Amino acid sequence: MTKPKVLLLGEIEYAHDAWNALSDIATLITPQSTTRPAFLQECTSGQLDGVHTIFRTFDSGSLTGPWDAELIAALPSSLRFCCHNGAGYDAIDVAACSARTPPLLVSNCPKAVDDATADAALFLLLGALRGFNSSMLALREGKWRGEPAPPLGHDPRGKVLGILGMGGIGRNLKRKCDALGMRTIYHNRKPLGAEEAAGAEYVEFDELLARADVVSLNLPLNPHTRHIISHAQLAKMKPGVVIVNTARGGVLDEEALVQALDSGHVRSCGLDVYDDEPNVHSGLIRNENVMLLPHMGTYTLETMAAMEERVVVNVREAVTKGRLVDLVVEQRGLV
């Protein structure tokens, strides 16, 4: 019997053994093309016919561009599963995948990312609260803490952490911030059960904005959450608030944030993600007070390896059982 084809979009960097072991059950192939137009042509000319499952890396967006309606329509009709390596799958138009007959099912990679992303959020939170960035820069310029020295920072103890989007990463961050003596309030579409909330207080969105000393964005980017934090929401926050974003740049209106930083209403922020990566708003770059990372939330050896291993688990499940372990939430009613 011929084995189903599994197409790799992007590179396997760590889980080589797990990936290669898939050749027991599938024929592993890679595309010939290196640009989106060429990839679309490769799809529509029938060269990828018979592909059953795709392993898609985050970085493969530089080859294919986003998985929008055009690309999804061009994918071979044999394709049943897309296993995406990343917790966030905003680059994939899931509605267009669901609209195919039969639907193209998508998995993401939650859980494996939780610790490293929450650690990055914690680093940004502490750096922004304490005002470390300008002094770190000044020291390297031979100016010790800076000239003039920066204002005093703030302790996390006793401060209210407002988590918008209390999924795996938000809950992990909450546990870490418990150890710092912070109190957590959160907002989700629905309150969590007592065990998952672990003492965090559920509040409405506006109450979170009004009460938090630190707002951490941990929610997925989708059409409902795009610019969920903009001028009006920033205005409802406490003067001197600190904002941390390790989710996706698009949930935060960067222009509005820059204005709120410039006015002093937002004291500082810690960002790992940007609306137009790798481009960063010039108002953030010039502001030495803010903490900026170049999308490094999951950038650790252990986490990257665990993510690839998990995506391989999804590919194996797709090929052998015709289902996905980490099916995205939007498609759970479809199967």
Note the residues at the interface with ligand GLV (CB under 6 A). 86-88, 113, 297-298
User: Minimum CB separation from ligand GLV for residue 274, in Å?
Assistant: 12
User: Minimum CB separation from ligand GLV for residue 108, in Å?
Assistant: 8
295 catalytic per annotation: yes
Nearer to ligand GLV, 115 or 213 (CB): 115
Nearer to ligand GLV, 40 or 109 (CB): 109
Q: Which of 237, 249, 244 is nearest to 217 (CA)?
A: 244
Which residues, in sequence order, are bridge partners of residue 215? 162, 243
User: Minimum CB separation from ligand GLV for residue 275, in Å?
Assistant: 14
Active-site residue identified among 80, 84, 248, 267: 248
Nearer to ligand GLV, 88 or 156 (CB): 88
User: Minimum CB separation from ligand GLV for residue 43, in Å?
Assistant: 24
CA dist 269 and 187 (Å) reads 20
Nearer to ligand GLV, 113 or 209 (CB): 113
C-alpha R_g of the chain: 22
Find how far residue 90's CA is from the centre of its chain. 9
Which residues, in sequence order, are bridge partners of residue 144? none
Residues 6+ apart with CB under 8 A from 204: 187
157 catalytic per annotation: no
Nearer to ligand GLV, 163 or 266 (CB): 163
277 catalytic per annotation: yes
User: Minimum CB separation from ligand GLV for residue 298, in Å?
Assistant: 5
Pairing of strands 27-29, 5-9: parallel
Tokens of 75: 């994918």
HSE-up (13 A, CA, CB side) for residue 312: 23
Active-site residue identified among 100, 226, 295, 323: 295
Contact 287, 131 (CB under 8 A): no
Residues acting as catalytic residues? 248, 277, 295
